[in-house]
């Protein structure tokens, strides 16, 4: 399996770019944010639990998130590998992912971080909030909270994979096509 973590702050373009990577590399896209939104849309127990945290811009507890991710991977034994978008978001999740993949004789091949500065992110998310229907995108307080959670808990995931020599940075500013090409240029030599 080939597993790539698409990394970066909220609003950095992970979802958009993940779709492009899936097309080119034939991997499966798993977005934990999308999985939570699906559960919330169906008012499942998992969705109701997730909503308590997502509506405040906090992380959903690890035991819920890790189990959900592992189930999704286990449901697709035919997959050539995965593009992980929104996971892992802290060190506990990173360690759990490494253990989970290694039990399948697999691993994270690379983490690629989209670099976008904070003011640009706030602008993009407020703009997205006008059409996405996502409540967590329409309130600047919630957006700022997501960014501070990113800085405090998530940014260190880059260092964690950097110690394994697997972390790469790509500028997330520019046209969608330019950014896709930057990602292809990073990933192609790794495969
Ligand atoms: P964004 O990248 O814009 O923050 P996502 O769709 O990735 O949006 O995530 C939306 C929300 O879902 C997050 O703010 C968080 O509350 C929750 N979430 C997503 N992934 C995780 C995760 N790996 N761990 C904990 N919470 C998560």
Q: Has residue 37 been placed in a domain?
A: yes
Q: Has residue 74 been placed in a domain?
A: yes
Is 144 a known active-site residue?
no
pLDDT at 15: 95
Residue closest via CA to ligand 1's atom 1 equals 10
87 Cβ inside 6 Å of ligand 1 = yes
pLDDT at 191: 84
Domain of 53? Answer: 2-185
Return the CATH number at 112. Answer: 3.40.50.300
pLDDT at 60: 98
Q: Has residue 190 been placed in a domain?
A: no
Is 146 a known active-site residue?
yes
Q: What is the pLDDT of residues 164-185, one digit of tens each?
A: 999 999 999 999 999 999 999 9
Q: Has residue 161 been placed in a domain?
A: yes
pLDDT at 184: 97
pLDDT at 132: 86
Residue closest via CA to ligand 1's atom 23 equals 87
pTM comes to 0.95
Is 89 a known active-site residue?
yes
Q: Has residue 156 been placed in a domain?
A: yes
pLDDT at 121: 94
Q: Has residue 105 been placed in a domain?
A: yes
pLDDT at 72: 98
Domain count, the chain: 1
User: How many angstroms does the Cα of residue 151 sit away from the middle of ligand 1?
Assistant: 14
Secondary structure of the chain in the HEC alphabet? CEEEEEECCCCCCHHHHHHHHHHHHCCEEEEHHHHHHHHHHCCCHHHHHHHHHHCCCCCCCHHHHHHHHHHHHHCCCCCCEEEEECCCCCHHHHHHHHHHHHCCCCCCCEEEEEECCHHHHHHHHHHHHHHHCCHHHCCHHHHHHHHHHHHHHHCHHHHHHHCCCCEEEEECCCCHHHHHHHHHHHHHHHC
Give pLDDT < 70 ranges for the chain. none
Which atom of ligand 1 approaches the CA of 137 most closely? 3
Q: Has residue 191 been placed in a domain?
A: no
């Amino acid at each position: 399996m080939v597993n790539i973590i698409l990394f970066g702050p909220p609003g950095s373009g992970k979802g958009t770019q993940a779709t492009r990577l899936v097309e080119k590399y034939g991997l499966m896209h798993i977005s934990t944010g999308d999985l939570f939104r699906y559960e919330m849309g169906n008012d499942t127990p998992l969705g109701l639990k997730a909503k308590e945290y997502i509506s405040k811009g906090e992380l959903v507890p690890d035991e819920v998130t890790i189990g959900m991710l592992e189930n999704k991977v286990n449901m697709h034994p035919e997959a050539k590998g995965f593009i992980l978008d929104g996971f892992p978001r802290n060190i506990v999740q990173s360690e759990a992912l490494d253990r989970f993949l290694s039990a399948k004789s697999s691993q994270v091949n690379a983490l690629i971080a989209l670099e976008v500065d904070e003011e640009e992110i706030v602008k993009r998310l407020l703009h997205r909030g006008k059409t996405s229907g996502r409540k967590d995108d329409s309130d600047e307080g919630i957006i700022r909270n997501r960014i501070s959670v990113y800085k405090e808990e998530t940014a260190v995931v880059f260092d964690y994979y950097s110690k394994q020599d697997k972390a790469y940075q790509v500028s997330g500013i520019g046209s969608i096509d330019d950014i896709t090409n930057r990602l292809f240029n990073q990933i192609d030599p790794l495969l």
